[in-house]
Amino acid sequence: MHRAEGDVVTGYRSFVAIGDSFTEGMNDERPDGTYRGWADRLAEILADGSPDFAYANLAVRGKMLTEILTEQLPIALEVKPDLVTLCAGGNDIIVPGADPDEKAAEFEEGVAALRAEGIDVLIFTGPDTKGMSVMSVLRGKVAIYNAHLRAIADRQGAKVVDLWSMDALHDVRAWSDDRLHFTAEGHRRIALRTAEVLGVPTAEDWREPWPETGGHPNWLTLRRSDLEWTRVHLLPWIRRQLRGESLGDGITAKRPRLAPLRELAERELASQQGSTLVDHADS
């Protein structure tokens, strides 16, 4: 297929991602320590090499649903991109006593506002935590919230990436040690699945089987892992909640304005090269 320079064959010329740590890209780290994540990977797929494709990522780790809808959503509504991805509410429903029904109603208001402006919207269900010890206690609340999200998508004409049904995410290698964020490979597969939902062809398949491994850990190893996870991740999270603190305190969006993806990539490359020069000068 012939394409004039600057044309985008994926059907999208601009994309804004809003949400929390999932969309920010934790824990898919680049060599310089910044996060890439499924949204950056998806933007690269959607750009299809076009120099004019524009992308912004407003997501910040730890953000609650209300914060996302009051801080990030208005920016997306103002710039009116072709596509907005919205994943929010996960940080809310894991809080003890949170009502997934109420959170879903609030979520729908955000989706409706975007659709009213003619913006294509894509949302995500929460993943299935059945195979994750300790985190599996949240499975029921996640399932209820997911049911609401699918209904919202039907009512509002939004697309859905069903993380719950992605068998590839049932492998422990898709998850970071904190059991809340995905690995680089998990993010890669989610980006491919998202492109598929959008009808954008890719050269890779998110369903590709994971490499074979040499057996499974025994119950004692798993128990020790649970105890270590509780000490390193769960207890600090509980302390932050009690203090009204968040992982996102003091953090700003990594791509705060809609700009050509090529421009952003060149800026990041220049920054990385500058850091390298400084390191050499200090050594």
Each residue of 233-271: pLDDT tens digit?
667 766 776 677 776 678 999 999 999 998 766 666 565
In angstroms, the CA 16 to CA 33 distance is: 22
Model confidence at 222: pLDDT above 90: no
In angstroms, the CA 258 to CA 242 distance is: 36
Predicted confidence band at 36 (pLDDT cuts at 50, 70, 90)?
Answer: very high
Region 174-182: mean pLDDT is 86
Q: CA triplet 99, 105, 108: central angle to 5 degrees?
A: 140
| Chain centroid offset of residue 183 CA | 11
Residue 145 is predicted with a pLDDT of 97
Answer with the residue of higher pLDDT: 66 or 95: 66
Write out the H or E segment, with its range, that includes residue 275: helix 261-282
pTM: 0.85
Phi, psi of 19 (to 5 degrees): 155, -150
Fold of 14-208+219-282: Rossmann fold (3.40.50)
